Structure 1
């Protein structure tokens, strides 16, 4: 997907500080032959959304049956031009209702958290900024919707609930990490923030790919444990949901691992279409998972309060899941190799007062951090200064990062990129040009099918050899942006500045644009 930006000498229609449309679109006829769009994404079928531009409007397929139609003119196009079921949205929007945490996090990353006026249940919100806005009565959960006006558009993530009046955001693991992240570009279109969204995507994807390249460098040097296979699960105490989807497959491969394949011993759920790559199996039954999982990543919501808005008392609650109670709480017993060796990591490090963690929300929005967390499990010492964002060992029940209610945590305008808090990462010398890390499973062509799991050796030494790596993981700096070259989709920024704008930049009146980036 190519992203082109053209700045004309004419006055621009702006949303806040973001120029997105030419002057005159608001009063233009819907079928005007003039092209009012200054920022465009070229269609790419491999991404979550496919835009088609017209003079005053863009039709977007986002894997729903009908189009989402964004129009900058007051006169919207007729349904005869875009389909009877089309959802029309006048842009730029002012307010949104957001029901899924992934979308809430992306909107906060864009610096637009103040636009979120309504959410679902308070207990389901894991973003500290948005919880803080609720505390300040700027955002309202479903129990307080009567205190605010309906929003311009509603986003939701429940793929099992079809609603033609809302915009569906898929966050069910069916897409690779950097394909999933591309939703930030889609959301940016509602405010005319394509440039900001593109820059955030470029930085996060570069951070991800640099970490993946450093792992491949260790593999090449034979300094990474072969066969440290993992299983990503969720338990209800009796059954395990085992994730074998695209998101986990790509993440595991880029971390130097593989997922233990349970498809021959497990069954797909009845609603498999809504949860692709999820398999169900008996928690306590001896299986390939228990035998071959060198490490287990457990994403369960242990002790989550079912009454959505009931706040629990941590002190009076049952003990947090740890080494002593994990086998019983998960239902797996003590026979599994990863449990015996204490190679179990829970994604509940950052947990709210209803004991709902943020991994499925922020983890999808920050795949670079999810990757670094997984690497820290597989290669201790890979980056000695890195603190996990989501995962904690069952040996560390007190390791917590409370989800606070603080509007001071909101991403501020102009600080969208700096708020990512990226560190430096130096690419290996060989890591130049195109690469598919974050998008394709086994991007480096390792093909670990003939490598047996370290768990079958009955030894736990495989995860301890990383102390010598000492690699700093974070953002790409200087000329090292080349690792983020175009992959299936992601975009090329081409900027054409007017003579006047270039002159203003040279005089320091405007910030200089980012360099052309392939991501």
Structure 2
């Protein structure tokens, strides 16, 4: 239980022992008021001097009342119905929620503790300088961030699950302020909600645009009270992204091969997907760029070879470092033109000690860095001396 939670519990016990009824508007807590909370609530005061605007993301929205925010996730998981959260500034009374807000989940903010199901949530906290809020991760072995790994090693951050399951009993016992979902609909979430553990959906991966995914930084800011920091950080990301895009805007478009085989299937990005948008902004295209798919296309090796075997530049979604690594997985790769040209690039530059990969952890919220890597690969003359963050050339 958090410090704020223990304070609330102690107050409720004291009220009960005195035989007093709780009032809807809390009395001032004087010197015992937790840092960042309202000490003397005034219904006429706007407690959000900095307000976040959402410009690129399409799967969440934020609106402000004087003492709380309304966060709505339109699709918390594929096919899911919208969910709404009332993010109430600590020290303010719980508002009367009716109409569209009648079923809203109330969350007291800023939160003190968060259990993160996906490693993509970690950079959101890191960029806001609020890793102190992190108290649990679902799969410690996938963590790349060095500060988080240290916190795990000393027991400040616990592991509460795996890629497929969550330890409900552990989470309920630990009572974090929020469990942030990874954009799926695991059955454990219902059990957590039944036990009064708040689950906040994070479905950034359903955004079709790179900057839309990165803008979920503002959801974390709403939970942690770091709106001003999030606005500055996102402006930096947005500006960096457009700077790179402008650098290659007039360059000739280069065709690339993407993806690789995994369990008999070769996945390539659909033409309306997040990955296709990144490639287009980097001055690249691919053989399936004219499709309308927003996700990935699952193809056979033969289908890929028929349309792309002669493409001399390959961006693979794996961690190969040598040509032997490539052909040991599938000898057919040796026949690809990119293997003969030596232009095979993989996401092997930022790999954690236990199997995590910085591309999957950090790249989602830093599309400016991903785009710079891609542009430097496709148009090296436009970004000479580029310091690669995620991609690495096979054999380098």
**TM-score, structure 1 length as denominator?**
0.59
CA contact (8 A) 2:265 2:301 kept: yes
The separation in 2 between residues aligned to 1:99 and 1:348, in whole angstroms, is 23
Q: Which residue of 2 aligns with 1:86?
A: 104
Structure 1 residue 257, shift from structure 2 partner: 1.1
- 1:372-430 superposed Cα distances (whole Å, 9 cap, x missing partner): 1111211224333322111111113xxxxxxxxxxxxxxxxxxxxxxxxxxxxxxxxxx
Deviation at 1:298, TM superposition (A): 1.4
Q: Deviations over 1:231-282 (max 9, x none)?
A: 3315315211112253212211121112321777xx98xxxxxxx4211011
Describe the shift of the 1:85–1:338 C-alpha distance in structure 2 as closer, same or farther (beyond 3 A): farther
Distance 1:235 1:277 in 2: 17
Matched, 1:228 2:246: no
Alignment partners' CA distance in 2, 1:207 and 1:166:
33
Q: Could you say what secondary structure the match of 2:361 adopts? A: helix
Q: How much does 1:41 deviate?
A: 3.0
What CA distance in whole angstroms lies between the structure 1 residues aligned with 2:310 and 2:226? 46
Match of residue 248 from structure 1? 275
RMSD over aligned CA atoms reads 3.1
**In the alignment, which residue of structure 1 is the partner of 2:265?**
239
Higher relative contact order (CA 8 A, sep 6+): 1
Partner of 1:213: 246
* Structure 1 residues 240 and 45: alpha-carbon distance in aligned structure 2, compared to 1, 3 A threshold: closer
Query: 1:189 is paired with a residue of what secondary structure?
Result: helix
Change (3 A) 1:180 1:349: same
Please name the residue that 1:297 is paired with.
315
1:78 deviates by 4.3
Between the aligned partners of 2:45 and 2:83, the Cα distance in structure 1 is: 26
Alignment match, 2:48: 37
Between the aligned partners of 2:207 and 2:171, the Cα distance in structure 1 is: 35
Residue 297 of structure 1: SS of its match in structure 2? strand
- Residues 177-226 of structure 1 show CA distances to partners (whole Å, capped at 9, x for unaligned) of 1111111112111122111100011112111211211212xx2xxxx4x3
CA distance change for structure 1 residues 346 and 127 in 2, over 3 Å: closer, same or farther? same
Contact persistence 1:44–1:50 (CA under 8 A): no
Structure 2 alignment gaps of length 5 or more:
1-32, 77-81, 162-166
* Cα deviations by residue, 1:448-467 (Å, 9 ceiling, x for unpaired): xxxxxxxxxxxxxxxxxxxx
Cross-structure match for 1:159: 184
* Superposition map of 1:447-462 within 5 A: none
Mapped contact 1:92–1:192 kept (Cα < 8 A)? yes
Q: CA deviation at 1:82?
A: 5.1
Task: State the Cα distance separating 1:340 from its structure 2 match.
Answer: 2.8
Q: What is the CA deviation profile of residues 483-512 of structure 1, one whole-angstrom value per residue up to 9, with x for unaligned ones?
A: xxxxxxxxxxxxxxxxxxxxxxxxxxxxxx
Higher alpha-carbon deviation: 106-115 or 135-144: 135-144
| Structure 1 contact 235–331 (Cα < 8 Å) conserved | no
Match of 2:375 in 1: 375
**Closer, same or farther: CA 205–349 of 1 in aligned 2, 3 Å:** same
Query: Cα distance, 1:173 vs. partner?
Result: 6.0
Please state if 1:278 is matched with 2:296.
yes
More helix by share: 2
Any residues of structure 2 matched to 1:120-269 within 5 Å, and which? 120-142=138-160, 149-161=174-186, 163=189, 165-172=198-205, 174-216=207-249, 219=250, 224=251, 226-244=252-270, 245-261=272-288
**Distance verdict in 2 for CA 1:33–1:173, change over 3 Å:** same
Distance in 2 of aligned mates of 1:131 and 1:285:
41
Runs of 4+ in 1 over 4 A off after TM superposition: 42-46, 143-148
In structure 2, distance between residues paired with 1:334 and 1:74 = 64
Tell me the residue number matched to 2:86: 69
Q: Is the 8 A contact 1:234 1:299 kept in 2?
A: yes
